[in-house]
Amino acid sequence: SLPLLCFRSSLIFGLLLLAPFTQPSTITQPNFVLLLADDLGIGDVGCYGNDTIRTPNIDRLAKEGVKLTQHIAAAPLCTPSRAAFLTGRYPLRSGMDAINDYRVIFWNAGSGGLPPNETTFAKILQHQGYSTGLIGKWHQGVNCESRNDHCHHPLKHGFDYFYGMPFTLISDCQPTETPEMDRAFRRKLWLSTQMIGLITLTAVLGRLTGLIPVHWKTLTCLAGFSLLFFISWFSSYGFVRYWNCIMMRNHGITEQPMVTGRTTSLILRESISFIERNKHKPFLLFLSFLHSHTPLLTTEKFLGRSSHGLYGDNVEEMDWMVGQVLDAIDKEGLKDTTLVYFASDHGGWLERQEGERQLGGWNGIYKGGKAMGGWEGGIRVPGIFRWPGVLPAGTVIDEPTSLMDIYPTVVHLAGGAVPQDRVIDGRDLLPLLRGAAAHSEHEFLFHYCGVHLHAVRWHQKDTGAVWKAHYVTPIFSPPGAGACYDRGFCPCFGEGVTHHEPPLLFELSQDPSEAKPLSADTEPLFDTVIRKIGRAIEEHRSTLTPVPEQLSVSNVVWKPWLQPCCGTFPFCWCDKEGDN
């Protein structure tokens, strides 16, 4: 009949109208704005319990979206954690975790970096028609064999546009700060140079006074050796600011060395400009903050504003930058079509101090910090998603999740497929974020320090227990201090760690601070849990295949022929932003 036909037509029309609102993730390709802080501790953010550092914009993201309370970095340092984030894979699968004490990329002129055969989420989104941009820190290498091959560069890894630092911010970039890079090794080199110089001078004086019978030929060789030794290390370490502290736009260098006073405003300007340029097509913006890494570049407007010194000022400025980016999204009418994500690459750096000044972050109730692969403080980070109308606002999820999960989540939402020819360790988070799934897909997460397995977490889904077994832990110095203040970094292996047999076991849902290790006497399930985790380790190790070590000594050393240079090497200097 006619009324029934009209009713059916109206119903079909109504369902068609409703479809985009009920399942927008399957109808449209959202924009992605991925915000990654540098060295920010989970205890530094208001919505994670900090009531003295003001982070209203990050807190607003959590209020309007989903907050993860057990969001885990795949590594406790910049280079390996970011490699895992970009590839969805544990960093040792790509050779981006350390076999030695060089645990990150040390020079723009090293030959190690994210291998060209790794497929980042940016590369897949590029193929899906997205405009892809990286603004800020890279720290995944630049060149392989020549100064301009750019084999590790962001543009080789799926980004259409790059503006920022190919390296990482370090105190050496700020002329007024105490040098940070390889500080202890540099002291040894200075001392060795002085000793060799003293021996040479003594021999020369002895020859002139006749007290030491030595040939002039020998003295010439000794003097030549002294000079060569000095040049061999000072040519790199003496010019760290020129070699590492550079800014690039795509393949071109814009500042060498960078002018730190304008860096924050340029990064913010570039981020907003990228959104404005690409508002009419799907885009991916990866804003990789230089905040809150030392030397804590902070503009005058924010200096002295927080109650936590320069570090607090820097975090509050980063929060303001987050707000400016969110405002730009709103202004362009993109709020409902943009998935925004905020996280930190790993925990706060507890040992980073200059005299009485604390220059590193705080990890709240969690033990340990940056560089510690096992303890929660090194790897548990803020994790916030916002997508209005799709993700339920004000949700808190306490399931184990990983920074590696961004990879499959973003790829699937963009309509792409994750590579089938390699192991992807991340899991699609959308069902969990939308409330369609009660549990994370991660049963086990493996916590590495370099290539050394320090701990494993097992999420026992039927009981809700989160067991964590520590096989190796760093020895804190001084004892009981909670960090390695005497070293500046906790090591992964050697005399600075303790091996545990049986492993230390904690139940994180009852003891998130990892303060009370369980034993076979106190925990009836102790042996069962340790056996279950042991089998998971064997299974995990069976999936690992040998790959070239990107952070080997030969790959991390400074190679002058690989040095990005604005000019004719070694006369590398330019300021194209100033010229503009």
Collapsed DSSP state (helix, strand, coil) of residue 558: coil
User: 64, 65, 44: which is closest to 55 by C-alpha?
Assistant: 44
What are the distances in angstroms from CA 11 to CA 4, 7, 192, 199, 541? 10, 6, 84, 94, 54
Crossing angle of helices 216-237 and 183-209, rounded to 10° = 160
Angstrom distance (rounded) from CA 472 to CA 301: 44
Is 168:78 a contact under the CB 8 Å cutoff?
Answer: yes
CA distance 526 to 536: 16
Q: Does 78 qualify as catalytic in the annotation?
A: yes
User: Residue 216 and residue 233: Cα distance in Å, rounded?
Assistant: 26
CB-based contact 376:470 (threshold 8 Å): no
Per DSSP bridges, beta strands 161-165 and 131-137 are parallel
Q: How far apart are CA 493 and CA 450, in angstroms?
A: 9
- Joined together, the tokens standing for residue 344 give 């930190």
Pick the catalytic residue from 47, 71, 127, 139: 139
Burial code (b: 16+ CB inside 10 Å, e: under 16) for 307-316 equals ebebbbbbbb
Catalytic entry in 6, 47, 71, 78: 78
245 is an active site residue: no
Q: How far apart are CA 253 and CA 155, in angstroms?
A: 14
| Strand, coil or helix: 500 | strand
Burial class of residue 189, CB neighbours in 10 A (0-12, 13-18, 19+): middle
- Is 222:532 a contact under the CB 8 Å cutoff? no
Note the helical H segments in 88-180. Answer: 121-127
- How far is it, in rounded angstroms, from Cα 313 to Cα 558? 34
For 147, what's the count of Cα atoms within 13 Å in the CB-facing half-sphere? 14
Q: Residue 138 carries which side chain, given as an amino acid letter? A: W
Give the residue carrying structure tokens 């520590």: 470
List the beta bridge partners of residue 163. 135, 249
Q: Cβ(110)–Cβ(77) under 8 Å? A: no
Q: How far is CA 394 from CA 177, 330, 337, 531, in A?
A: 41, 19, 18, 38
Rounded-to-integer distance, Cα 347 and Cα 77, Å: 8
Q: Cis before residue 175, ω within 30 degrees of 0?
A: no
Give the contacts of 515 (CB within 8 A, at least 6 positions apart): 367
Catalytic annotation, residues: 78, 139
